[in-house]
Amino acid sequence: MATLLSISSSIFGDQGNTSQLAGEFVARWQAQNPQGSVVHRDVGSNPLPHLDSSRVGAFFTPAEQRSAEQQAVVAQSDALIAELNNADAIVIGLPMYNFGVPSQFKAWIDHVARAGVTFKYTDTGPVGLLADKPVIVFAARGGLYANTPNDHQEPFMRQFLGFIGLNDVRFVYAEGVNMGDEPKAKALAGARNAMDAVLAAVQAA
């Protein structure tokens, strides 16, 4: 049975443009995979704690030496990583805030980037430890940033996902959503039109 992991990061919850696009993709995926399972992780509405010295310390403390509080910290991270490992495909709703990813999504990244668990360092450089699988990123932006030097999201996301072993990444853009009603409608329609092609690629993977 196939499993889709859906990660939302909009501070506007289900009303966010990226949440709606990702939700529509999930619905189309479910229609083609009626026996499949969907796991939802909304870090925008239910944010994870940002890293601090105590949380980092828990990650690097040997398991047999961890306190109960440290065990809880690691268990939360382990659960997030298990969601990645158990998924056959991943869809991410990713708005652009001030040229970058939402801080809530960055907190998720910091909890799943674990040395010796999701990546390792070798003599020839870092190696991702997750099995590769399709990742679809629905990226909504108020202005026009794709394929310009001001798009700091896509290079960052590709670098991080590749760092943990996820290299099959596809971006679907909805740009100019704050430039007026007509540009917004056109951007969202374009993203929706791209869904079928992206879904077909995921099904074939």
Query: Which two three-digit tokens encode residue 57?
Result: 């310390």
Q: Are strands 3-8 and 37-42 parallel, antiparallel or unpaired?
A: parallel
Q: Is the pLDDT of residue 1 over 80?
A: no
CATH class of the domain whose range is 3-204: alpha beta
H runs (alpha helix) in 128-180: 153-163
Measured distance CA(158)–CA(13) in Å, rounded: 24
pLDDT (tens digit, 9 = 90+) per residue, 48-107?
999 999 999 999 999 999 999 999 999 999 999 999 999 999 999 999 999 999 999 999
For the chain, what percent of residues have pLDDT higher than 90? 89
Q: Are strands 119-122 and 125-128 parallel, antiparallel or unpaired?
A: antiparallel
Q: Are 184 and 173 in contact (CB under 8 A)?
A: no
3-7, 127-131, 177-181, 200-204, range with the lowest pLDDT: 200-204
Query: pLDDT confidence of 202, banded at 50, 70, 90?
Result: confident
Task: Specify the 3-state DSSP secondary structure of 172.
Answer: strand
Domain range summary for the chain, segments of one domain joined by +: 3-204
The residues, ordered by sequence, that sit 6+ positions from 175 with a Cβ below 8 Å of its Cβ are 140, 141, 143, 144, 145, 146, 187
Q: How confident is the model at residue 200, as a pLDDT?
A: 81
Query: Which two three-digit tokens encode residue 190?
Result: 């374009």
Q: Is the pLDDT of residue 149 over 70?
A: yes
Q: Is the pLDDT of residue 35 over 90?
A: yes
Q: Is the pLDDT of residue 205 over 70?
A: no
pTM: 0.94
Measured distance CA(118)–CA(104) in Å, rounded: 20
Calculate the average pLDDT of the chain: 94
Q: How confident is the model at residue 79, as a pLDDT?
A: 98
pLDDT (tens digit, 9 = 90+) per residue, 166-181?
999 999 999 999 999 9
Query: Which two three-digit tokens encode residue 43?
Result: 């870090």
Instruction: To the nearest 10°, report the CA torsion of 12, 14, 17, 19.
Output: 110
CA distances from 138 to 125, 157, 187 (A): 30, 12, 12
Measured distance CA(70)–CA(66) in Å, rounded: 5
Task: Specify the 3-state DSSP secondary structure of 186.
Answer: helix
Quick one: which H or E segment has residue 195? helix 181-204
Q: Is the pLDDT of residue 204 over 90?
A: no
